[in-house]
Amino acid sequence: MGEDKRVDNKVELLGHYGSDETIACSAWTSTSRNLTDEKKARIPRLIEMLWVNGHETPFEKGMVHFLVDTEIASHIHLLKHRISSLNAESARYKELKEDKYYLPEDWEGIYPNDNKLPSIMRNKADDWSATLAKYTELGNQLYHQCVADLEPVLGRKRAKESARFFKTYNSQIQADITFNMRSFANFQKLRNSEHAQVEIREVAAKMLELVEGIEGNPFKCTLEAFKLTREM
């Protein structure tokens, strides 16, 4: 094995737009957007009422924007949320030379039945985590060699887009994703759940932590209405 390119999944908050006040003002457009002190005091109750009664459109006025590095399995979960906006790193347009990949921490110390592995993968010292690392790095080597060999015959574009079949499911790619707060609630409900895969659950939990940590906590009432606070 060469250089260790194992990395953890990462989430970075790039920015946000709006606040509880933005969402409340959107709802009050139907009557008056004039924000008096009395109306400001009613914002927590208004936001709770909107969410409980299914008046969800105003929540689309607040937005959160993330940069996410995940393995392909979690990336597919992100893609399923069609009311989010996502752009991702593409192996069609560039050769993925960094070869970053993810290994499940809970595989460490669990050993395969060595006799049932292909001979190329057999090593009694390797647990399943080390075995996956070897398999991934072999796939990366084949990927780059395939690009080099296909390019003179098929051209650079076709070489890159077809050689990526050698990339393993734990290969890590980067995505830029934006949620409005309505879609963020849906994402959290489905992915920050005991029923979700561990990796995407960790991504969702980190997103929530970052949103709660925005200076001034601008979406405090909204997260409480969604029942999305880590203390709960």
CA distance 218 to 18: 8
92 in any annotated domain: no
pLDDT at residue 232, as a whole number: 39
- Token pair 């409480």 is found at 224
In a domain, 171, yes or no: no
Q: Would residue 126 count as lying in a domain?
A: yes
Say if residue 157 is in the same domain as residue 124: yes
83 in the same domain as 22: yes
Q: Which two tokens stand for residue 121?
A: 């993968």
- Residues 112, 218, single domain; the answer is no
Helix (H) or strand (E) segment spanning residue 176: strand 172-180
State how far the Cα of 227 lies from the Cα of 180, in Å rounded to an integer: 16
Greatest mean pLDDT range, 80-89, 191-200, 210-219: 210-219
Predicted model pTM: 0.87
Give a yes or no: residue 232 inside a domain. Answer: no
Cα–Cα distance measured from residue 141 to residue 153, given in angstroms and rounded to the nearest whole number: 20
Length of the chain: 232
Does the pLDDT of residue 129 top 50, yes or no? yes
Q: 172 pLDDT exceeds 80? A: yes
Residue 63 sits at φ, ψ, to 5 deg, of -140, 150
Q: What is the CATH number of the domain that holds 65?
A: 3.30.1360.170
With a pLDDT cut of 70, the percent of the chain lying above it is 95
| Confidence bin at 3 (pLDDT 50/70/90) | low
pLDDT tens digits, one per residue of 101-126: 999 999 999 998 877 778 777 787 88
Q: Flag whether 117 is in a domain.
A: yes
Residues 188 and 149 reside in one and the same domain: no
Tell whether 27 and 56 lie within a shared domain. yes
What is the span of the domain harbouring residue 127? 103-166
- What are the residue ranges of helices labelled H in the chain? 20-28, 37-41, 43-52, 72-79, 128-154, 156-163, 181-191, 198-212, 220-226
Determine the residue type at 58: P
Residue 184 has pLDDT above 80, yes or no: yes
CB atoms closer than 10 angstroms to residue 231: 4
Contact by Cβ (8 Å): 62, 183: no
Query: Same domain for 155 and 49?
Result: no
Closest CA to 144 of 163, 158, 129: 163
Helix, strand, coil proportions of the chain in percent (round to 5)?
A: 50, 15, 35
| 3-state secondary structure at position 193 | coil
Query: 99, 138 in Cβ contact below 8 A?
Result: no
105, with CB counted inside 10 A (0-12, 13-18, 19+), is exposed
C-beta neighbour count of 185 within 10 angstroms: 20
19 shares its domain with 122: no
Confidence class for position 4, pLDDT limits 50, 70, 90: low
Domain count, the chain: 2
Please give the single-letter amino acid code of residue 68. Answer: V
d(CA 25, CA 42): 11
Q: How far apart are CA 222 and CA 182, in angstroms?
A: 10
Interval 156-178 mean pLDDT: 92
The answer as to whether 5 is a domain residue is no
